A and B are shown apart, each in its own frame.
Chain A
């Protein structure tokens, strides 16, 4: 039997939305308040969904301890309380939550192999959320 397991995590980080490919006026028009040069921050909620066959002997898709450990090591320890613009993932990309979803998906795809990675979903605030399921494969 195939089941989908979702685990929710939290981290806080700062960012500034700014594209070097746009003029000052275009950046302000596109990103509005988010273009403030001093940056601002969010409490992000991160949902990771993995899937797979429920192993008969354990009743599990994967051991939660392994998933928690991978997410802590690869994501939370690196992203929590950081300025996203200074991270290598955003050296050439704007740290929008769309790009953050894709970056986290890509990192976990490479580092977590105990179950199939289905989806990364991020709530930037209680009012916006973003999901990435790897469909644009290749851009990251």
Chain B
């Protein structure tokens, strides 16, 4: 089994707000991130896939294919977007780094054929990142 990690970068804005909370609760729980006008981050995404090395190609996965899937399913949908308003997952879920990692997993996992998704890591800043391994 070999693990391959591909990195990508995207920039997006968001804010944290749960309509089920009162305004006061939203401010207390989410702090500055509750500003309804949003704020942005330069996100770094790391996608790790695993699989056996194909004896003919020497690849775990065709990187061109992985890049295309990543671009189509994730970057085209999220890069330079306001996550709360333009990415359907976040119409009902708070766009935290945790939920972003889960959303990226759910977008990629059904599209990958040759290799199996192992980990999605999303850096919100260089000092904060979340890993998701598809665990329930």
Chain A residues within 8 Å of B, Cβ to Cβ = 1-9, 54, 56-61, 63-65
Contact = CB atoms under 8 A, between A and B. Distances in A.
B94 interface: yes
A1 B128 contact: no
A4 B131 contact: yes
B12 to A, nearest CB: 15
Contacts of A1: 102, 132, 135-136
Nearest to B122: A3
Given A1-B132, A4-B132, A6-B128, 13 more contacts: A3-B131, A4-B130, A5-B98, A5-B128, A5-B129, A7-B127, A7-B128, A8-B128, A9-B127, A57-B18, A58-B94, A59-B93, A65-B31
A5 B130 contact: yes
B101 interface: yes
A2 B29 contact: no
A61 B31 CA distance: 16
Interface in B59-106: 93-99, 101-102
Given A1-B135, A59-B93, A54 B129 contact: no
Closest 9 CB pairs of A and B: A59-B94, A59-B96, A2-B135, A8-B127, A4-B131, A59-B99, A54-B98, A3-B98, A3-B132
B102 A3 contact: yes
A79 B135 CA distance: 35
Interface of B: 16, 18, 20-21, 29-31, 93-99, 101-102, 126-133, 135-136
Contacts of B102: 1, 3, 54
10 contacts: A1-B102, A2-B136, A3-B132, A6-B131, A56-B93, A58-B16, A58-B29, A59-B99, A61-B98, A61-B130
Contact of A63 (B29, B128, B136): B29
A3 B130 contact: yes
Given A1-B102, A58-B18, A6 B129 contact: yes
B101 A3 contact: yes
B70 to A, nearest CB: 20
Contacts of B130: 3-6, 61
Contacts of B131: 3-4, 6
Contacts of B20: 57
Contacts of B21: 57
B128 A59 contact: no
Contacts of B133: 2, 4
